[in-house]
Amino acid sequence: MINYNASQPLLRWLLFLNAICLAVPSFAAGETATVQEILDGNQLYIDGHQARLKQAAQPPQVVSTGDSRGQLGFESGAVARINRQSLLKLGSSCFLLNKGQILVSGRQDGCTRSARMSVRGTNYLLQVDENGNADLAVLEGTVQVEATESKTAPVTVQAGQRLRLSPAGVVLGLVKLALGDYQSILDGPLFSGYSLPLPAYANLESYLRSNMPGLNLPITPSLPIPTTPSVPGLSLPRFF
pTM of structure? 0.80
Q: Is 20 inside any structural domain?
A: no
Q: Is 202 inside any structural domain?
A: no
Number of domains in the chain: 1
The residue-averaged pLDDT of 126-150 equals 95
Q: Is 157 inside any structural domain?
A: yes
The residue-averaged pLDDT of 119-134 equals 94
Distance CA 125, CA 80 (A): 10
Here the CATH number for the domain that contains residue 123 is: 2.60.120.1440
| Strand extents, DSSP E, 29-114 | 33-39, 44-46, 49-50, 56-57, 62-65, 69-74, 79-82, 87-89, 95-106, 110-111
Q: Are strands 95-106 and 110-111 parallel, antiparallel or unpaired?
A: parallel
Distance CA 71, CA 44 (A): 10
pLDDT computed for residue 113 by the predictor: 93
pLDDT computed for residue 222 by the predictor: 53
Q: Is 236 inside any structural domain?
A: no
Q: Is 21 inside any structural domain?
A: no
Q: Is 75 inside any structural domain?
A: yes
The residue-averaged pLDDT of 119-148 equals 95
Whether 131 shows a pLDDT value over 80: the answer reads yes
pLDDT computed for residue 20 by the predictor: 32
Q: How far does CA 225 lie from the centroid of its chain?
A: 27
Residues ≥6 apart with Cβ < 8 Å to 107: 76, 77, 78, 119, 120, 121, 122
Determine phi and psi for 163, rounding to 5 degrees: -115, 135
pLDDT computed for residue 219 by the predictor: 80
Average pLDDT, the chain: 85
pLDDT computed for residue 32 by the predictor: 93
Q: Is 18 inside any structural domain?
A: no
pLDDT digits (tens, 9 = 90+) for 29-72: 458 999 999 999 999 999 999 999 999 999 999 999 999 999 99
Whether 132 shows a pLDDT value over 80: the answer reads yes
Is the sign of the CA dihedral 189, 194, 199, 204 positive or negative?
Answer: positive
Q: Which candidate, 165, 163, 194, 186, places its Cα nearest to that of 79?
A: 194
Determine phi and psi for 136, rounding to 5 degrees: -115, 125
Q: Is 227 inside any structural domain?
A: no
pLDDT computed for residue 150 by the predictor: 77
Q: Which candidate, 72, 65, 68, places its Cα nearest to that of 41?
A: 68
Cα-based distances in Å from 150 to 91, 110, 125, 147, 178: 21, 18, 23, 6, 30
Range of the domain at 141: 33-186
pLDDT digits (tens, 9 = 90+) for 12-24: 544 433 433 333 3
Whether 98 shows a pLDDT value over 90: the answer reads yes
pLDDT digits (tens, 9 = 90+) for 67-88: 999 999 999 899 999 999 999 9
The residue-averaged pLDDT of 154-175 equals 95
pLDDT computed for residue 101 by the predictor: 98
